[in-house]
Structure 1
């Protein structure tokens, strides 16, 4: 799901490491694709997704949580990993005003409309042309 993202910073050592602001969220993401070079301080359409180091082996963490648990996205160890809690609607995880679409969510249709918590190894971002 495409969202408006402001590029806050592009890492000098690892150019795929970008810091974004989407809504009220500031996120460190791994850039997997961009249509054109991006620049800090500019806004771009961006699609967020998840990456799990052992997705094939199904060794990733997901649990259903109660409605009283806050929707949030929290960095793990100042790296690309995040703990993500949100409401699943189709293949889109709603985390407050943040929307994350990923094919791994398609296998969780039995949890549609419920709140889930995921531990992801990194957030990935793909950029389209400049807004």
Structure 2
């Protein structure tokens, strides 16, 4: 799903790192492609996904919460929300571009928690 994201910060020593706010949720993400120069305080159309470097850790979440929770000071996050066929609704939708969720059809529609290594951002040229 395409969102209008507010850029809240750009980290100068790690150029891929950007702090965004989407649907009232602030998080640190990574974007390796910028089709234009981005500026703090402006809004841009984005797709939000996630990166898993080793293996997917997914489990049911009895608390039925929707949120992103940063793990320590690193870039890992717990994403909690409702699992969909190719995305997770954590208050806003994060896409599963690598089709991890296809191995968990029994969890579709359930509240889950997944651990990801980073949140990925794709800045788009198209308008929202």
> Would you call these one fold, judging by a TM-score over 0.5?
yes
Describe the SS at the equivalent of 1:45.
strand
Q: TM-score, normalised by structure 1?
A: 0.86
Give the C-alpha shift of residue 130 in structure 1.
Answer: 6.9
How big is the alpha-carbon RMSD for the aligned residues of Structure 1 and Structure 2? 1.6
How many residues matched? Answer: 125
Q: TM-score, normalised by structure 2?
A: 0.88
Q: Which residue of 2 aligns with 1:80?
A: 75
Q: Which runs of 5+ in 1 are unaligned?
A: none
Q: Which residue of 2 aligns with 1:120?
A: 116
1:61 maps to 2:57: yes
Q: Which runs of 5+ in 2 are unaligned?
A: none
1:99 maps to 2:93: yes
Task: Measure, in 2, the Cα distance between the counterparts of 1:14 and 1:69.
Answer: 34
Q: 1:39 to 1:90 in 2, by over 3 A?
A: same
More strand by share: 1
